[in-house]
Structure 1
């Protein structure tokens, strides 16, 4: 691109900028800049819904339109393009906010993507490092030319006459060796899908593995204020000295 990346970020990630994604309108709130870092809050509004409440003056139930949403702090180091976002489940995940920021930065000629900082390890090694797996998200594609020893998966996809499938499993302790999950992971190893697995370590920390990157996604722990948000100094520290994980085509 002709514009310097830092100037591009300043121009695209400005107060009031918005992007629609999956029924939500993501917006940028007030921003600031300190020590070469652009920081602010990103949040979303869902499509308006309505409720009925009793109005004493009218002595009747009246319909009111309401909007709901949530916001979270972010920071972007303007030289390295390293980004930090606070994970605020269940309202906002880091992935959803990062994807929204990437869309805000993109235009018809330049497509921006984000990748979490990661540590490359085999899935088998990651499994040894967690005590249990509590969530699994799969994106699966119909194979070409045929399935390989995955009858349960074949029944699911072909039974629905589908080309792709998106699945999410949650539980106190998922059994990755169960027939269905084992077949699904085998299907993914044959390059017909992706998986993100979330587990819990012996110290109680969450750990996420991405088969796309064949790596464990790394996160930074930070304290929060009374409102449940990390402070600016924590954001600045999170983006300092982290390898570049932002990309633009």
Structure 2
């Protein structure tokens, strides 16, 4: 008897911009209220492309059922591979399409979202892309994907978990901005405009080490994105991940995956949403 494949489902909240809900009507008519859910619907346009970190992101087709929107958010890109060339009768470099997509479900009453991170579509990548897609398509930069447990610093979050087993920093090109960081200088010296630093330790990383402190500070200063995965001593099968994009944590729980697709089934996402109390995330900047 085969053992069912297991994946993790993460959670977050979508906070609308302050002042989004009201605009004036002509001829002195009463002010009309726009529900955030209606504005969000307009952002989930299937196929609209957005380039981010050399990945082309798109929403797939969405479906609304029982007050929730379900769909996929994913990316595509080309990777170089060594393939057999029949004409040359030899191996040669060639671009190969590559990509991944994650299922998500949004509860329209409070804009809580659950989704399935994957090995090739990490939690921080999904959150950053979702936020960027919504901002671009609504033309409102105030939209935020936020932690359901509120904003908390990395240092404070670290004190709440037993071990930090993984840290990842992704540098983004800062343009004309200058920094005294020797690490940024080393990462950009070859001419790179994108770089990733990843640290792993099954027995736990020393988060007070100078390198970790600098990575967290660089993310705080806007030079990249920082994510840390932590575990606690309970046996609930949950992990916690802090990201600078959320400015807080997302709790991830285990679910069985569909063997045909390798994805969390919709009823599992629905169950996850049902277990989250209806409370909007903080919309503080």
TM-score if structure 2 supplies the norm length?
A: 0.63
Q: Residue 224 of structure 1 aligns with which residue? A: 257
Alpha-carbon contact 2:161-2:231 (below 8 Å) kept? yes
Q: Residue 199 of structure 2 aligns with which residue? A: 170
Deviation at 1:114, TM superposition (A): 0.5
Alpha-carbon contact 1:46-1:67 (below 8 Å) kept? yes
* Higher RCO structure, 1 or 2 (CA under 8 Å, sep 6+): 2
Alpha-carbon contact 1:99-1:113 (below 8 Å) kept? no
* Structure 2 Cα separation of the partners of residues 209 and 52 of structure 1: 39
Number of corresponding residues: 229
Q: RMSD value over aligned CA atoms? A: 4.1
Q: Structure 1 residues 175, 233: closer, same or farther in 2, change over 3 A?
A: same
Q: Unaligned regions of 5+ residues in structure 1, if any? A: 141-153
* Structure 1 Cα separation of the partners of residues 42 and 185 of structure 2: 48
Q: Residue 51 of structure 2 aligns with which residue? A: 20
Q: Residue 146 of structure 1 aligns with which residue? A: none
Q: Unaligned regions of 5+ residues in structure 2, if any? A: 1-19, 24-33, 172-179, 189-194
Deviation at 1:124, TM superposition (A): 6.6
Q: Structure 1 residues 110, 83: closer, same or farther in 2, change over 3 A?
A: same
Deviates more, 1:19-28 or 1:218-227: 218-227
TM-score if structure 1 supplies the norm length?
A: 0.70
Deviates more, 1:101-110 or 1:33-42: 101-110
- Give matches, 1:1-249, under 5 Å: 1=20, 3-47=34-78, 49=80, 51-55=82-86, 58=87, 60-61=89-90, 65-89=95-119, 91-107=120-136, 109-111=139-141, 112-118=143-149, 126-127=157-158, 129-137=160-168, 156=182, 168-172=197-201, 173-178=204-209, 180-181=211-212, 184=214, 188=217, 196-202=227-233, 203=235, 205-209=238-242, 215-226=248-259, 227-240=261-274, 241-245=277-281
SS at match of 1:243: coil
* Structure 1 Cα separation of the partners of residues 150 and 282 of structure 2: 16
* Structure 2 Cα separation of the partners of residues 192 and 65 of structure 1: 35
* Structure 2 Cα separation of the partners of residues 9 and 214 of structure 1: 22
C-alpha deviations, 1:101-152, integer Å up to 9, x for none? 2222224741222013226778677545544322234689xxxxxxxxxxxx
Q: Structure 1 residues 52, 213: closer, same or farther in 2, change over 3 A?
A: closer
